[in-house]
A and B are shown apart, each in its own frame.
Chain A
C-alpha cells in the first residue's frame, strides 16, 4: 500500500495534479519526499503542519522570502525549513529558455526544485529551501541580473499584461510602465514600511487580462476618450461572412445599448459607450479602441484577509500614461502619504477608503471629484455635491 493514500487521490481527478509533480521530484530530492509525507499528515489531521512567519530573509531586504517551518521536524527533517523565494518576474512574463533553465538549475541546486509559475503576485515562485541557502541564492540571482520580489507590508512586485508586445488593443505600454515602476519603487519594494501590502497591476485595455480590477490595490487599465475606430468595409465583410450575427452577437449584447445596426450600417453613440470591449472583441478587424489613448486608475481591490473582498473603483477616469509618468507617480506619492498617516495596522488602502469615505479620500489626495468616480458603469457616483444641496 502507498505511504500517501490520501494525497494519491488528488492524482485521480481530470486535471494535472501538483502531487504528480512532487512525486516526480521526490525521486531525486529528499525535501520532496518528506513534503509528500507532511502533506499526507495534513490531509489526515485536517490541519496544516506549516508554521507561518518569523524572521527569514536576506541582508537588507524585508521582502522576497516567505518563511515556512514545519511543526513536525522530527518526523520530516528535510522539510523542517521550507521557505519560499519570490523572484521578480520579467514584465509580462517574457523569458527565454536560457533564463528558465538558469532559474530551474539554481533551484535544484539550492532548493526543492519545485516552482510555481506564477504566483498570484506575478512573481516566479521557488518553493522550499532552508535558511542557510538564502544568501547564496540571492547572490547568485543578483549576479545573473535577477532580483527578489515583494512580500510583507511593501509594494508587491508590479505585474502587467503583455500589452503592446503582442496585443493590438493595448492603449498604453504596460510593460514599460511595469518596468519603470519596479525600478522607481525599489525602496518601497524591498523595505516594507506601509501599513500593509500594496499591489500594482497593469492591463493595456478594459479586457483587463491580468484581472487588475480584482487583484491589485492600484489597477491601471488602458482606455480611450475619443470614439471607437470603425472600419465600415470590414463591418460589411463580417456581415457578409456570416460568422458574426451583428444584430444579436454585437448590438444586442452592448451593455449600454449604444449601438444600432440597420442591416448595412453600424452606428455607435460613443458618448454612451462604457468601454466594455465586447463589440471590439467580436469584430477586431472592424472595430478598434480610439486614437486618444491612456489609462484609468482604479484603487482598492483586495482578496478577503482581514476584511472581505473588494473590487477596485475608479479614481482617475483618464490619464495620459506616457514616460516618465510623473503625473501618475505624483498621485501615488500623495496616496501613500495619506495611507501612511491614516491607515490602520493591516488595513489595505481599499479598506481605508471604505472606512473614511471616498469623498473624503478624494479631497485629501487633492483630486477634483467627478461623476466618473464610480464603482461600475451606470452606478451613482460617490460624491455628494454639497454646494448643490446648499443652493436648494
Chain B
C-alpha cells in the first residue's frame, strides 16, 4: 500500500511537471497516480484524500480553464495587468 505522504508527493510532482505546459484535471491526475502505484496499492479514494490535503495545505490550488484544473499556486497574470 502506498502511504498518503507518498501519494501526495507523487501527485504534487505530477502537477509541478505540467506547470506551464498543460492544464491538468482531476480525473486525469487520478488515473496517472493510480497507474503509477498500481490499483492494489492506491485507490481513487486515496488520491482524493491526498489531493484534499494538498489543497488545504495550499500547496496546490484549483483553477478554471474549460473545467476545473489543478495548478501550482501563482498570481494570475490577468490580475497584475
Which residues does A use to contact B, with CB under 8 Å? 51-57, 59-63, 66-67, 69, 71, 73, 80-81, 131, 151-154, 191-196, 340, 343, 345-346
Contacts and interface: CB of A to CB of B under 8 A. Distances in A.
A340 B27 contact: yes
B71 A55 contact: yes
Contacts of B71: 55
B33 to A, nearest CB: 13
B66 A346 contact: yes
A154 B68 contact: yes
B27 A195 contact: yes
Nearest to B52: A191
A60 B79 contact: no
Interface string B26-70: 111010000000000000100010011001101001111111100
B68 A345 contact: no
Contacts of B68: 62-63, 152-154, 192-193
A152 B67 contact: yes
Interface of B: 25-28, 30, 44, 48, 51-52, 55-56, 58, 61-68, 71, 73-74, 76-79, 81
Contact of A191 (B28, B55, B65, B74): B55
A55 B74 CA distance: 8
B14 to A, nearest CB: 15
Given A60-B55, A131-B79, A55 B73 contact: yes
A54 B63 contact: yes
A386 to B, nearest CB: 32
28 contacts: A53-B63, A53-B64, A54-B65, A54-B79, A55-B64, A55-B74, A55-B76, A57-B61, A57-B62, A60-B55, A63-B62, A67-B64, A69-B81, A71-B81, A73-B81, A80-B79, A151-B64, A152-B64, A154-B68, A192-B26, A192-B67, A193-B68, A194-B27, A195-B25, A196-B67, A340-B27, A340-B44, A345-B28
A53 B58 CA distance: 19
A14 B30 CA distance: 52
Contact of B56 (A60, A73, A151): A60
Given A61-B62, A345-B25, 16 more contacts: A51-B78, A53-B65, A54-B76, A55-B64, A60-B55, A67-B64, A71-B81, A80-B79, A152-B62, A153-B25, A153-B26, A192-B62, A193-B27, A194-B27, A195-B25, A195-B27
A171 to B, nearest CB: 35
B73 A62 contact: no
A53 B23 CA distance: 12
Contacts of B52: 191
A69 B26 contact: no
Contacts of B26: 153, 192-194
A392 to B, nearest CB: 42
A67 B25 contact: no
B65 to A, nearest CB: 5
A69 B76 contact: yes
Contacts of B67: 152-153, 192, 195-196, 345-346
Contacts of A81: 79
A191 B27 CA distance: 12
B48 to A, nearest CB: 7
Contacts of A346: 66-67
Contacts of B62: 55, 57, 61-63, 152, 192
With most chain A CB atoms within 10 A of its CB, the pick from B26, B76, B78 is: B78
A62 B71 CA distance: 11
A340 B44 CA distance: 10
A131 B79 CA distance: 8
Given A60-B55, A67-B76, A54 B64 contact: yes
A338 to B, nearest CB: 13
